Structure 1
Amino acid sequence: MIKIRVLIVDDSPFSQRLIKDALKESKYEVCGCAGTGSDGIRQYRELQPDLVTMDLTLPDMDGLECCRELLTIDPAGKIVVVSAMKDEAIINRGTAIGVKAFFQKPVKSEALLLGFEQIISQQGNEAGQQHFLEYFIAAFTKNIKDMTGMDVLSVDHSKIQTVVSHGLGVIIGITGSQQGRIMLDVSMDVAQEFTKKLLGTDVVADEDIFNSISEFTNIIAGHSISEINNVLKAKEFEIRLTPPSIIIGESIAIINPKMTSNTVTAKTAIGPLHMNVGFVGGK
């Protein structure tokens, strides 16, 4: 069996030993240990490991800065933080850099192995993210029916790189072990009629429309991500959502060169509703 090679960057011989012991009799092998960030960078270049465990407190540099250096060398690198420190600020900084997961010392071998397995399995990430899309489609169509009583007449979806708005768009960011966005996009006429259905009234103000479409998008996103987190199971791989943002205007192009997204169009009696879901890179 070909072993998956792991580089440990940690200035504590005790922690290095614990990680080595956790990986014994598994498909992972420790190919190197570095006690400083600079040595970790040197060994990363030489050894080209499949995975890196990174302590945050190194004698010569901040562990997250070391992560940044490694990911500059290899943007597809897979790094997990194993440190006594684990708080929201660290997770946010690390996630923005490209760290795959965060473990707090002392980490149990089962948790570490599960985390590694999740990361390695995400090498085929596009297929996994395509599977995630199914949860968004299910939440999208179900909530149209449940919240308005309207049937979804048909559902189409296609991959695109540039999203062009139809009039009113609500964007919610996806953060955590996966990064991306969900966007609900409708014409102003459809938004108005849809809001009437949501509120059960014949007259709606602009504020009603913005608030209703925003919350509808939030519900779709929340239902979808909850189901995905139930599949991922491990807390280190949870996905979270940012608050909604609203864009108003037709033919506004939204482009992210790193993102190929899927647009799902649900056709209803009042017109089409468009949901765009995209993920960035291999997170």
Structure 2
Amino acid sequence: MEEMKSEKIRVLIVDDSPFSCQLIADSLDPLQFDVVGFANDFQSALESYRTYRPDVITMDIVMPEMDGLEVTKRIVAEEPEAKVVVISSMKDDDLMELGKKNGATAFLQKPFESPELMATLRSIHKRNVEDDVFRNHYPEDFIASCILFMQRFVKDIDFEPIMHGPRLPASGVVALVGITGKFSGRMSFDLSPSTAKDLATRLLKQEPESTEQIYDVIAEFANIVAGNASSRLNKEFRGACLRVSPPAIFSGNQFSIASPHVDVYAWDITTPYGKVRLSVGFKKAGI
């Protein structure tokens, strides 16, 4: 148990809204993150940082007396090792540039998904590659990458975890992406032919010309999500060296892709066009 505690990322939350503080704290998995304190202005933030030495600080912008960007600037000036994630309801190029100049390491906009927040904090903490840590974290990076990319085209979506095991159930149209590197695995999208067609139409902004074009769109969608998630993990885990292979498309009625040596995590993503199942897994340690 002591070993598990040492792996936690320690977070200081700076925000003058108790509601926002609670929202951020509740979005962090307590098995992976430890909220060491809360602060609502520069002085309390600096004192808390010096007391708890957190790995990461989350920083609101709109606060009384001094805004979060100025607080960030002063904390980083006095404590150069501090890593700050600005979390704000506003996000634009000018704000992000100012935040960077003031010493912020990353910028996140409210409202955010819990996986997105945790992936951002982990990417800033930049842990070294360790098997158990990597395997605990990679599912969130894949679902976060998928949700972020999907929301560029489809606003009304929801997701829920549905399984964790060795078998990948599939039917309809499946885009399968291989992943190589320090860890070997694969990611897939599984959706019905009608959902694949409607989703491709939305992405193309016109009716697909052929079944092959539908498959090409779904394959490229899977390629982008897998590539983005792998890039996130490469930033978080130095030495992972993850690379994605060209997607393969499978289609037909009920079939299953068995993965006896792979831990598979899967989510059902509900969209206006039907459900898309995202599955990802890496080979078990020692195999």
User: Structure 2 length as normaliser, TM-score?
Assistant: 0.52
- Structure 1 segment 2-81 matched on structure 2, within 5 A: none
Question: How far apart in 2 are the matches of 1:267 and 1:201?
Answer: 22
Does residue 147 of structure 2 align to residue 144 of structure 1?
no
In the alignment, what sits opposite 2:273? Answer: 270
Distance (Å, rounded) in 2 between the aligned partners of 1:218 and 1:244:
6
Question: Partner of 2:199: helix, strand, or coil?
Answer: helix
Once the two structures are TM-superposed, the CA of residue 204 in structure 1 deviates from its matched residue by 4.0
For residues 237-282 of structure 1, the C-alpha deviation after alignment (integer angstroms, 9 at most, x for no partner) is 3111111111111211100211120111111111110011011022
Tell me, in whole angstroms, the C-alpha distance in 1 between the residues paired with 2:174 and 2:136.
22
Q: How does 1:1-283 map to 2 (within 5 A)?
A: 121-122=130-131, 125=132, 127-146=133-152, 148-234=153-239, 237-282=240-285
Q: 1:244 to 1:154 in 2, by over 3 A?
A: closer
Residues 118-159 of structure 1: per-residue CA shift (max 9 Å, x gap)? 56x32xx2x53231111100111111111x233213333421
Amino acid at match of 1:280: K
Paired residues of 1:144 and 1:151 also in contact (CA < 8 A) = no
Deviation, 1:176, is: 0.8
Residues in 1 aligned to 2:217 and 2:274: alpha-carbon distance in whole angstroms = 17
Check whether the contact 1:184–1:275 (CA below 8 A) recurs between aligned residues. yes
One-letter code aligned to 2:176: I
Note the residue ranges of structure 2 that are not aligned, 5 or more in a row: 1-126
CA contact 2:171–2:256 (8 Å) conserved in 1: no
CA distance in 1, matches of 2:182, 2:261: 16
2:139 partner letter: L
TM-score in terms of structure 1 length: 0.53
Task: Give the alignment's Cα RMSD to 1 decimal.
Answer: 1.8
Alignment identity in percent? 26
Larger radius of gyration: 1
List runs of 5+ in structure 1 lacking aligned partners: 1-116
Structure richer in helix, relative to its length: 1
Deviation at 1:203, TM superposition (A): 4.7
